[in-house]
Amino acid sequence: MLFRQLFDRESCTYTYLLADPWLKDAVIIDPVREQLPRDLELLRELGLRLRYTLDTHVHADHVTGAGLLRAHTGAQTVVSRDAGADADVLVGDGDMVSFGRQALEVRATPGHTAGCLTYVTHDRVRAFTGDALFVRGCGRTDFQGGDARRLYRSIHDKVFSLPDECLLYPGHDYKGRTVTTVWEERTYNPRLGGGRSEDQMVAIMAALRLDRPAKMDEAVPANVRCGVQAGDPSPERMEAPWAPVTRSPTGAPEITAEWLAEHGAGLTVVDVREPEELTGELGQLPGVISAPLGGLSSAAQGWSRAAPLVVVCRSGGRSAEAAMRLERMGFGEVASLAGGMVAWRALERRRG
């Protein structure tokens, strides 16, 4: 299984990418909204098709990127049926989420919130515990239906029952720790391990005096909607009527060189290469607007968001990133030239 652990510094949130390395199907666990460009770029680089975004619970400390990833890739959102959230797929204890030849077992681990889930790889080598269990800690139990007794039983029944060597990946860590094991937490966790009783754990949690999460009033309502906010690109935008737009594996809107050659008259074409590249061996298309990727957002402020727009680069990588960035800015009819100027010149050679 292909596996990556990613980190959001502001919220100290871990996001996990898992994929079938042969069939290229992927899932993302606990994406962070502000990290959408990073996640899409990694999917593109690795050539992966995102099938599902899985949230371990309705977060109170950050807004999930699940809704934006759905809009850009078509991936279905997955949450617990007990979370009270509006998702494409609602799951519960014992369900399986399959992607390619891989699968994750769903284990209900409520207690931090009423809808917490732990996702376990089918070989039980890894488990993703969200905020239910941290490295030498656990999630708080004083809001969102939290219940210390329920959390104690969840962890002992659903997590500590996994093999000793099973790797546990938390939703957060504030001390730079990335992974632990079932044996370590059962032995050393100061709240849930070391032979502590349920009553002892309840007393520990009751004695905590924690500040209210700073983003709770923003994050919880947004996450009930899988992070969808006003102005986000909608899934309908994936079928723009102005051109036969398709989506790349990372969700970038694309059109072919053949279509542009037949229908490009009158369209606005933006080249996001550096200026010196426009005079290189591949040249440039007639009438293009030069807007290097680094300054694209600034340059686009004066462009019409209603007019169709085609983005070009050398081979399609930068223009794909640019097209998705323009969508997030509200451009409704935008597409990257698949294959870029390399594909354009190849088409010219074929046509003589």
pLDDT digits (tens, 9 = 90+) for 41-89: 999 888 888 999 999 999 999 999 999 999 998 899 999 999 999 999 9
pTM for the complete prediction?
0.69
pLDDT computed for residue 234 by the predictor: 64
Residue 272 backbone phi and psi in degrees, to 5:
-100, 10
pLDDT computed for residue 190 by the predictor: 98
pLDDT digits (tens, 9 = 90+) for 86-139: 999 999 999 999 988 899 999 999 999 999 999 999 999 999 999 999 999 999
Q: Report which of 111, 86, 73 is spatially closest to residue 237, judged by C-alpha positions.
A: 73
- Diameter of the chain measured on Cα atoms: 81
* Domain 235-351 CATH (choose: 3.60.21.10, 3.40.50.10190, 3.40.250.10, 1.10.10.10): 3.40.250.10
pLDDT band at 235 (very low <50, low <70, confident <90, very high): low
pLDDT digits (tens, 9 = 90+) for 260-306: 998 888 789 999 999 999 999 999 999 999 999 999 999 998 888 77
- Residue written as tokens 């983003």? 215
Percent of the chain with pLDDT over 90: 78
Of residues 238 and 150, which shows the higher confidence score?
150
pLDDT computed for residue 18 by the predictor: 98
Mean pLDDT throughout 309-338? 92
Give me 246's structure tokens: 């398709």
Handedness of CA 121, 122, 125, 131 (dihedral sign): positive
pLDDT computed for residue 304 by the predictor: 83
On average, the pLDDT of the chain sits at 92
Residue 325 backbone phi and psi in degrees, to 5:
-65, -40
User: What is the residue extent of each domain of the chain?
Assistant: 2-224, 235-351
Q: Is the pLDDT of residue 240 over 70?
A: no
Give CA–CA dist 75/119, Å, rounded.
Answer: 18
The architecture (CATH level 2) of 2-224 comes to 4-Layer Sandwich (3.60)
Give CA–CA dist 32/23, Å, rounded.
Answer: 25
CB-based burial label for 15 (10 Å; 0-12, 13-18, 19+): buried
Contact between 319 and 272 (Cβ < 8 Å) = yes
pLDDT computed for residue 239 by the predictor: 38
Give CA–CA dist 193/195, Å, rounded.
Answer: 5
Q: Is the pLDDT of residue 333 over 80?
A: yes
Q: What's the angle, vertex CA 139, arms to CA 133 and CA 144, rounded to 5?
A: 130
Give CA–CA dist 147/196, Å, rounded.
Answer: 17
